[in-house]
With several copies, the nearest count.
Chain A
């Protein structure tokens, strides 16, 4: 396992993550039907398809440009809250990729993800505990950062992030929603997994598996 990921490795990871999402389309929509409007699978599949299509049509191997293009494509998917949230995630990631950089090491990867998360979070006041994708994203990135800071290799770091993501997603089941459509359910939202937290966890699984496969 090399210490960095290059353009091809990173796009491979993204495509695997996108495949994971597409495979779980119906499952995600069912989760959303319980607490929202039942379209989260459709929404995430659109984003995933946008990721794949952008990668496939992208020329050259400038990761910064690619991630920005994915962000715009994701924003244009007309998929409810999901498009702007994922759109800004990728635009934010792009902003932290060093100009002209061909490869990301574990520290830079963590910074890139953190920049994406920061941009995503400009859209919402949701914090950990509010039963949203934030419950997955925040612990996953904390784990990624901790692994990077302790000098772990990228594959180990992504594995830590995946574990934390899964735990975070599972935690939403017992929470009461205070953001997104589910908030209208109030206490009735308790007992249901948050769809956005679930799909975000699938994304981390996909990134890890995508790295291993390449």
Chain B
């Protein structure tokens, strides 16, 4: 059976998509050295730069968040595969500055290995860089060791607050502190309904029965923790929010950010319905939704499902979320 995707040679997916992306938005992004997406108008050297790394196939993540007020560079690997450390070091070298670089890595083994190796090499070259690891997945339990907690779509709000702090001229320590604050107070849980096709192999990345859903599914089809019969939108939202809200250390009296992140084939219609139920649940717990995102931010090809992300906010984080930004996939006037 033919793969029902619009592609050419499966080996060229990443270069072609990056070329298309940067050609579509030349006023915002440019492609450097094949796999590095950088801001078309670089920020001032006196400000901290924000860099991330990660595989392709999750569009718009991660490169959709390169832009004023967010990332300075995204280093792209191949489909679902981290870029090698040498390419990361190249990006760090391009952005080397006295103000320093915040380097955001999502907790997936390949990414972490490349990240660690790049850090080692960058330090040898005297590059001022600090690494922060996102690991907000609560599928293995909110108290599971960090190694077991994957980095999901939570990196994106983290880019936003760190990017805004950097744009405001904060020091590397201050930018790191802001990133750490949201990192320590955010949680994500994913649910899958329908599988996706790996665009290189053409295989389904997992199987689910016609009436099944799986809570805790990872971003590459890694198994989750709870297969069950399908629930309604409201039941699903409440079941998940009841775990995510406390895992973000939030409860009565707190202001939170909610992101409903569509995995690919789950419609925005459904995401709004899920958001509605999530907000109602959060309010029933005495907390308020002070910031929301609903849409496709980090996808898994055409997987059906979504990630529910919640972060506890204070005024500083809320202001940083509302600060101007001009990335292709997150623009704030």
Contact = CB atoms under 8 A, between A and B. Distances in A.
Interface stretch (A32-40, A51-59, A148-156): A32-40
Nearest to A189: B223
B78 A84 contact: no
B198 interface: yes
A33 B202 CA distance: 11
Interface stretch (A106-114, A164-172, A179-187): A179-187
A39 B116 contact: no
Nearest to A77: B84
B221 to A, nearest CB: 6
A78 B203 contact: no
A83 B205 contact: no
Interface stretch (B37-45, B107-115, B258-266, B284-292): B107-115
A195 interface: no
Nearest to B80: A37
B85 interface: yes
B82 A78 contact: yes
A75 B82 contact: no
Which of A83, A88, A123, A188 counts the most chain B CB atoms within 10 A? A83
Contacts of B124: none
Nearest to A119: B117
A75 B203 contact: no
Interface residues on B, range: 20 to 34
Nearest to B86: A76
A80 B220 CA distance: 12
A88 B110 CA distance: 13
Among B82, B200, B224, the one with the most A-chain Cβ atoms within 10 Å of its Cβ is B82
Determine which residue in A42, A75, A78, A185 has the highest number of CB atoms from chain B within 10 A of its CB, and name it: A78
14 contacts: A33-B201, A42-B201, A72-B86, A76-B87, A77-B84, A78-B82, A79-B77, A81-B82, A82-B110, A83-B114, A123-B116, A124-B113, A183-B148, A184-B218
Interface of B: 14, 35, 55, 77-87, 109-110, 113-114, 116-117, 139, 147-148, 198, 200-201, 203, 205, 218, 220-224
Given A74-B84, A79-B77, 6 more contacts: A29-B201, A80-B55, A80-B109, A83-B84, A83-B110, A181-B218
Interface of A: 29, 33, 36-39, 42-43, 72, 74-85, 87-88, 123-125, 179-181, 183-186, 188
